[in-house]
Amino acid sequence: MNGRHTTVTAFDFSGIAVRAAETDATARIPSQNWKDLVDSGYLRLFSPREIGGLGADPLTQTAAMEALARACPGTYWSATVSALLCVKLISAYADPRTHDRLIRPLLSGERLACFAVAETTAGSDSGTIRTTVRAAGPGGGFVIRGEKSRITNAPNADLAVVLARRERLAGDDGPAWCLAFVDLHQPGVSRYEIPRMGLRGMPWGGLVLDDAHIAPTDLVPVPIEELAETMAWGWLKNSFAAIGVAESALAAATRHALERVSFGRPLAHMEGVQAQLAQSRAQIDATRLLARRAACERAAGRSARDLIAMLKIYATEMAVEVAARAVQIHGATGVTHGHEVERLYRDAQMNVIGGFTSNRLREQAAEGLGLGPAVFRAFDWVAPAGLGHDPAGLDGFPRPAAAA
C-alpha cells in the first residue's frame, strides 16, 4: 500500500493552506490558524494522555505533521516547536508538580512556548552560551540574564524554555547547564523580530533577558550531553517540515507541467521534466519512510537519535533540491514574489539551517557510528607534507646560471 495517500488525506488543514501565502506576505500567523489547530487536536497529538495529550500513535503524529507542513510551513514550525519540542523538553526534565501548570496551556493552545538555545554569537555549541542563571537572593528563585537570538516563537511566546549556564556555588557539583522555564510576561524580558529569507510567517527573533525571574521549581540542571536526546524531536520536526515543503513543491511542479505548453509540447510529456518529477518522487518517498521509521522508533522508547540526525540532513537538503527543481520547471513565474514555489524555495533552505545544521549533525551521526568524538587539530599539516607552497617551474627555482 502506498502510505503517502493516507497521510495527505488524514488531516484537513485546507483553511491554513489557503492562508499560507498571506501568512508569508504579512509575516503573521492568522488567528484563525490557531483556532483550526486547536480544533484539529494537532497540539495534543504528541503528548500522552496523562499530561493532557491524545497519545496518538506515531503514524498519526507523522501524518499530522506532514499535513500541517504541507499546508503552511510557518504555521507548522510555530505550532510544533511549542506543542512537540517544548512540551517534550518540559515533560522530560520538569518537576512533576510544576508540569501541569506549564504544559496544559501549551496543549490547549492558550499559550505558546519557544526553545531558546542560540545566542547572537553562539549556535549549536553550548560551550559558547553566555546566558546565565543565578540565585535570586533572599526572595528565592533565580534570575536569568543574557540574550537569545534566532529563536522560533521568541517574538510572541508566553513561555521560554531556555538553555543557560548555571552559576554554581562552592560545593555544587551538578551540571554546568540548566533548562529554565521563563515566563515571558514580566518586566525583565524584551524581544525583537528578525526578518529572514523564508518561513516568514513563523515568529522568529530574539529575547533579551535582563534578570528575568524564574520560579524555584522552574529551573532544571541538565547534563548537556543528555539534552541532544530531547532536541532530536526538533530535528524530526525539521524533517517533516522539509517533507511537506518538498511534497508541495512537487505537487506544484506536476500541476504546472500538466498545464504548460512550450514549443507546442506540454511540459508533462517531456522526458527531461519527467526525470525531474521522478527523482523528486523517489527522494521524497525515501525520506518519508525513514522519517516514519524514526518516529516509530521513538514511540517505542528507543533513542533513534543518530537515525534522526541522518534523516534531518537528508530531508532538509532534499527539499531544497526538490524546490529548486520546481522553480526551474516553472521558469520565471517561479521566482515571482508570492508564487507558491518561490515561497517554498525560500522556506526549504530554512529547514536546513534551523536546529542543528547539516554539518553539525553529520558530526553527530559520525560519532554515533563509533568513530569517537571529534578530534581537533589546527590546520597546520599541509606544509609539512610538502604541499604548502607552489612548486618550482620546469627548470627548477631560478638559479644563478640557468641551464640549457
DSSP state of 392: P
Classified as helix, coil or strand, 334 is helix
The three grid cell numbers given for residue 44, joined into one nine-digit string: 495534543
Which of the ranges 105-113, 226-234, 243-251, 358-366 carries the binding residues for a second copy, by CB under 8 A? 358-366
264 binds other proteins, rule: CB under 8 A = no
By CB under 8 A, name the one of 49, 195, 375, 400 that touches other proteins: 375
4 binds a second copy, rule: CB under 8 A = no
338 binds a second copy, rule: CB under 8 A = yes
Report CA dihedral (81, 206, 166, 309) to the nearest 10 degrees.
Answer: 40
- Judged by CB, which is closer to other proteins: 173, or 380? 380
292 binds other proteins, rule: CB under 8 A = yes
Residues 168-197 that bind a second copy (CB under 8 A): 194-197
By CB under 8 A, name the one of 43, 309, 350, 361 that touches a second copy: 350
By CB under 8 A, name the one of 124, 132, 156, 217 that touches a second copy: 124
8 binds other proteins, rule: CB under 8 A = no
Which of the ranges 189-197, 221-229, 320-328, 358-366 carries the binding residues for other proteins, by CB under 8 A? 358-366
Rounded-to-integer distance, Cα 88 and Cα 77, Å:
15
If contact means CB under 5 to 8 A according to the sort of partner, which of a second copy, other proteins, none does residue 390 touch? other proteins
- Judged by CB, which is closer to a second copy: 197, or 383? 197
The three grid cell numbers given for residue 52, joined into one nine-digit string: 493532557
φ/ψ of 142, rounded to 5, equals: -135, 165
Q: Which residues of 18-39 are buried (b: 16+ CB within 10 A; e: fewer)?
A: ebbbebbeebebbeebbebbbe
- Contacts by 303-306, CB closer than 8 A, 24 or more apart: 303/229, 303/232, 304/232, 305/228, 305/229, 305/232, 305/364, 305/368, 306/364, 306/365, 306/368, 306/369
397 binds a second copy, rule: CB under 8 A = no
Rounded-to-integer distance, Cα 15 and Cα 71, Å:
8
The residues binding a second copy (CB under 8 A) are 118, 123-125, 127-128, 150, 194-198, 261-265, 268-269, 272-274, 320, 324, 327-328, 331-338, 342, 345-346, 349-350, 352-354, 357-359, 362, 374, 376-379
